[in-house]
Amino acid sequence: MKFVPRFDIRLVRDGRVAALEPVVIRHPSDTLPILEAELSELAYERFVALALNTKNHVTAVLPVSSGSLNASIVHPRELFQRAILANCASLILAHNHPSGDPTPSPEDIALTRKLIDSGLLLDIPVLDHIVLGYGRYVSFKERGLI
């Protein structure tokens, strides 16, 4: 007799980020208290997503990838696996630029388009992508990139 592995999937709370409750996102700057706590002053790129419910309350911070000085590999599979497990209605993507310049790179723009398309397929819309630099941010939505 042969056996096939059986798997169970669980979402595990891996800490907390201090925030006033409930955190409601009405403007890109509303994300900054959470994102700065997660991403500021890192010497490497880190990519996270904010999981939102139907009323745009932040329900979770979803770490997706940590990279090097100037790159972080992100695949739709890892992002949306976390989003589905977190039972979110929509996402706001975010990452930092350790250089301090939050200007999106061509790779950032291409990745965002790929993740937006994936989200549409899964009915989990990507509402914005925030890039943080030292004390500054760029919102794809504000720049008309989304």
b/e for 27-59, b at 16 or more Cβ within 10 A?
A: ebebbbebbeebbeeeeebbbbbbbbbeebebe
User: For the chain (length 146 residues), average pLDDT per consecutive 10?
Assistant: 79 72 85 89 91 94 81 86 94 94 93 96 97 93 92
In the chain, the amino acid numbered 5 is P
Q: Return the pLDDT at 71.
A: 62
What tokens appear for 120 in the block?
């549409």
Instruction: Look at residue 134 in the predicted model and tell me its pLDDT.
Output: 86
What pLDDT sits at residue 72? Answer: 67
Report the pLDDT value the prediction gives residue 97, as an integer from 0 to 100: 93
Confidence at residue 10, expressed as pLDDT on a 0 to 100 scale: 75
How many Cα atoms within 13 Å fall on the side-chain side of residue 118? 17
Residue 81, SS3 per DSSP: helix
Amino acid at 131: V
Q: What pLDDT sits at residue 5?
A: 78
- Residues facing residue 129 across a β-bridge: 93
Q: For residue 105, what are the contacts with CB-CB under 8 A and spacing of at least 6?
A: none
Q: What are phi and psi of 92, to 5 degrees?
A: -120, 125
Q: Which secondary-structure segment (H or E) carries 112?
A: helix 106-122
